[in-house]
């Protein structure tokens, strides 16, 4: 079997004003996603996606990766990952046994590699007539989920988080900054309201999206200790691993991070510096199935558990699900609560989310078929997805 073409489509969903949410960086006015299709000479097509700037990922795939993939065997996923990462240095990399990467290998390039890699695994599953999580070696057939949202201001945070629990979730995540903006006092008021509303037996997580500095993160971490927070996510910038280790040492609240990290090498740095309790690689950012399963194995060697980041696209939801079902140190799956039809309405088949669990698809590959009317419903709209206010 040979790859005959690689195509990219871009989609957008403009969020109606009344359904927008605000995170630490502003109001989310639009969701974008891209769909990569890897075509083969035997009629099997794989789909994938990556997170990042859609136009630049599209151009990296079309002008940099596509030509190097055409004619290759799509089932040789390790070879093709190495080829995409090392470019013309693939042959010496494979001959010597260590990677000789090209420059420009992070950022949107890695997201483009991730998108193609997900599509290659989809092809391999379709050839073998097996769901990807079984190809990788299934650890389970369903996974406990947590509701990921929590933007309501002040005391309203209690009702919002309790509403997620009423849907059957046994864990929920809220944002450190709500619609009322950020101060430590505002954040603690919202965390306290959430804990009071859900009682002591539900896990509550708090996400700061890397928005704080070290001293603010330490203060907030200490202040949230009485509310039994299951993890404090991305307290500070992903560019400051030693600072994150400081935050971790200063509070008893476990530290989670990883959605802004690329490759096993970034995660090795976090693990070596003892900066993290829960790793959160995003399969569409950190490098696809091929790389993220290495990251999860690396974390397991440090006895660190994993809760992969899952946000923004139905293809990523499906890919994250297969990854999580296959890796023993993944213990919970993120299910976003923001309004985004690009997650739940781009496939013909619904995701099986029941009573706070996500259940496996047993169909081959990723297991989901794209809807026919995507271009009409989700025409791409250029421009920023977020406005600061
Ligand atoms: Mg996050």
Q: Which residues contact 183 (CB under 8 A, 6 or more apart)?
A: none
Domain ranges of the chain: 3-130+375-380, 135-371
Our measurement of the distance from residue 201's CA atom to the centroid of its chain's CA atoms, rounded to an integer in Å, reads 26
Q: How remote is the CA of residue 128 from the centroid of ligand 1, in Å?
A: 34
Q: 160 is written with which tokens?
A: 């919002």
From ligand 1's centre to the CA of 364, what distance in Å? Answer: 30
pLDDT digits (tens, 9 = 90+) for 205-220: 999 999 999 999 999 9
Q: How many angstroms separate the alpha carbon of residue 46 from the centre of ligand 1? A: 28
CB-CB contact of 21 with 28 (8 Å) = yes
Residues 6+ apart with CB under 8 A from 309: 258, 259, 280, 281, 282, 285, 320, 334
Task: Report, as an integer, the average pLDDT of 382-389.
Answer: 89
CA of 282 to the centre of ligand 1 (A): 10
Q: How far is the CA of 329 from the centre of ligand 1 (A)?
A: 19
**Residues near 185 by beta carbon (within 8 Å), at least 6 away in sequence:** none
Q: What distance in Å separates the CA atoms of residue 359 and residue 361, rounded to the nearest whole number?
A: 7
Please give the distance of CA 274 from its chain centroid, rounded to a whole number. 22
For residue 53, give both structure tokens.
């700037």
Torsion of CA 203, 209, 212, 218, to 10 degrees: 30
Report the percentage of the chain scoring pLDDT > 70.
100
Q: What pairs with residue 14 in β-bridges?
A: 30
Bridge-based pairing state of the strands 30-40 and 26-28: unpaired
Q: Using the mean position of ligand 1's atoms as its centre, give its distance from the Cα of residue 62 in Å.
A: 29
What is the rounded distance in angstroms from the CA atom of residue 386 to the CA atom of residue 28?
4
Which token pair is 10? 């871009």
Whole-number Å distance, alpha carbon 55 to ligand 1 midpoint, is 23
Hey, which bits of the chain come out as E strands?
A: 3-14, 22-23, 26-28, 30-40, 45-48, 142-148, 171-175, 203-207, 229-233, 255-257, 278-279, 305-306, 333-336, 352-354, 357-359, 386-387
Q: Pairing state of beta strands 30-40 and 45-48?
A: antiparallel
CATH code at 135-371: 3.20.20.120
Separation of first and last alpha carbons in the chain: 51
Please name the residue that has the structure tokens 């950020």: 182
Cα-to-centroid distance, 95 and ligand 1 (Å): 38
How far does residue 235's CA lie from ligand 1's centre (Å)? 10
| Ligand 1 centroid – CA 237 distance (Å) | 12
> What is the dihedral sign for C-alpha 335, 325, 53, 101?
positive
Q: Taking the domain 3-130+375-380, which CATH number applies?
A: 3.30.390.10
Ligand 1 centroid from CA 3, angstroms: 35
Structure tokens at 6: 């690689």
Res 4 pLDDT > 90:
yes
What per-residue confidence (pLDDT) applies to 22?
A: 81
Mean pLDDT, rounded, for 221-231: 98
% of the chain residues with pLDDT over 90: 95
Q: Would you state the pLDDT for residue 103?
A: 87
Measured in Å, residue 232 CA sits from the centre of ligand 1 at 10
pLDDT tens-place string over residues 123-162 = 999 999 999 999 999 999 999 999 999 999 999 999 999 9
CA–centroid distance, residue 4 to ligand 1 (Å): 37
Q: Sheet containing 3-14: give its strands across.
A: 3-14, 30-40, 45-48
Report the pLDDT value the prediction gives residue 389, as an integer from 0 to 100.
73
pLDDT bracket for residue 244 (50, 70, 90): very high
pLDDT of residue 24: 76
Q: How many angstroms separate the alpha carbon of residue 10 from the centre of ligand 1?
A: 23
- Domains 3-130+375-380 and 135-371 are alike in CATH topology: no
Return the pLDDT at 388: 85
Mean pLDDT score of the chain: 97
Per-residue pLDDT reduced to its tens digit, 67-110: 999 999 999 999 999 999 999 999 999 999 999 998 888 999 99
CA of residue 327 to ligand 1 center, whole Å: 20
User: Which residue, 165, 169, 123, is CA-closest to 145?
Assistant: 169
pLDDT tens digits along 303-350: 999 999 999 999 999 999 999 999 999 999 999 999 999 999 999 999
Does residue 340 contact residue 31 with C-beta atoms inside 8 Å?
A: yes
Which residues have CB atoms below 5 A from the ion given as ligand 1? 207
pLDDT band at 40 (very low <50, low <70, confident <90, very high): very high
pLDDT of residue 23: 76
> Structure tokens of 74?
């799509």
The predicted structure's pLDDT at residue 21? 84
Residue 166 contacts by C-beta under 8 Å, 6 or more apart in sequence? Answer: none
Q: What is the pLDDT of residue 34?
A: 97
Rg of the chain in Å (alpha carbons): 20
* Separation between Cα atoms, residue 168 and residue 82, nearest integer Å: 42
Q: How far is the CA of 291 from the centre of ligand 1 (A)?
A: 20
C-alpha distance from residue 102 to each of 73, 109, 367 (Å): 22, 11, 33
Asked if residue 49 has pLDDT above 90, the reply is: yes
* CA 183 / ligand 1 centre spacing (Å): 19
Grouping H, G, I as helix, E, B as strand and the rest as coil, residue 199 is coil
Distance from the CA of 376 to the center of ligand 1, in angstroms? 31
Q: Tell me what pLDDT residue 104 has.
A: 87
- Alpha carbon 32 to its chain's center: 14
Rounded CA separation 319/368 (Å)? 10
Give dist(CA 93, CA 31) in Å, integer: 38
């Amino acid at each position: 079997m040979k790859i005959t073409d690689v195509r990219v489509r871009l989609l957008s969903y403009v969020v109606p004003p009344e359904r927008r949410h605000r995170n630490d960086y502003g109001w989310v006015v639009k969701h974008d996603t891209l769909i990569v299709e890897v075509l083969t000479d035997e009629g099997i097509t794989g789909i994938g996606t990556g997170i990042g700037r859609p136009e630049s990922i599209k151009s990296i795939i079309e002008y940099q990766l596509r030509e190097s993939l055409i004619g290759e065997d799509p089932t040789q996923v390790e070879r093709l990952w190495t080829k995409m990462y090392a470019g013309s240095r693939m042959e010496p990399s494979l001959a010597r046994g260590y990677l000789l990467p090209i420059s420009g290998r992070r950022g949107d390039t890695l997201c483009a590699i991730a998108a193609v890699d997900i599509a290659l695994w989809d092809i391999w599953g379709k050839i073998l007539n097996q769901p990807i999580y079984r190809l990788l070696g299934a650890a389970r057939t369903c996974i406990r989920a947590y509701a990921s949202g929590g933007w309501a201001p002040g005391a309203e945070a209690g009702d919002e988080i309790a509403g997620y629990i009423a849907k059957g979730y046994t864990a929920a995540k809220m944002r450190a900054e709500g619609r009322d903006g950020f101060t430590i006092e505002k954040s603690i008021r919202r965390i306290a309201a959430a804990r009071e509303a859900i009682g002591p037996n539900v896990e509550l997580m708090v996400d700061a999206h890397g928005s704080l500095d070290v001293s603010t993160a330490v203060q907030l971490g200490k202040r949230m200790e009485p509310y039994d927070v299951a993890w404090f996510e991305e307290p500070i910038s992903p560019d400051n691993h030693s600072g994150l280790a400081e935050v971790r040492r200063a509070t008893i609240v476990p530290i989670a991070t990883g959605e802004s990290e690329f490759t096993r090498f970034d995660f090795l740095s976090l693990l070596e510096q003892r900066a993290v309790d829960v790793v959160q690689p995003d399969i569409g950012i950190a490098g696809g199935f091929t790389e993220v399963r290495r990251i999860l194995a690396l974390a397991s060697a440090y006895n660190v558990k994993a809760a992969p980041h899952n946000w923004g696209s139905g293809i990523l939801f499906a890919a994250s699900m297969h990854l999580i079902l296959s890796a023993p140190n993944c213990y919970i799956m993120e299910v976003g609560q923001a309004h985004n039809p690009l997650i739940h309405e781009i496939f013909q088949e619904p995701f099986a989310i029941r009573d706070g669990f996500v259940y496996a698809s047993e169909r081959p590959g990723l297991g989901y078929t794209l809807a026919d009317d995507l271009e009409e419903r989700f025409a791409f709209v250029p421009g920023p997805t977020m406005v600061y206010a």
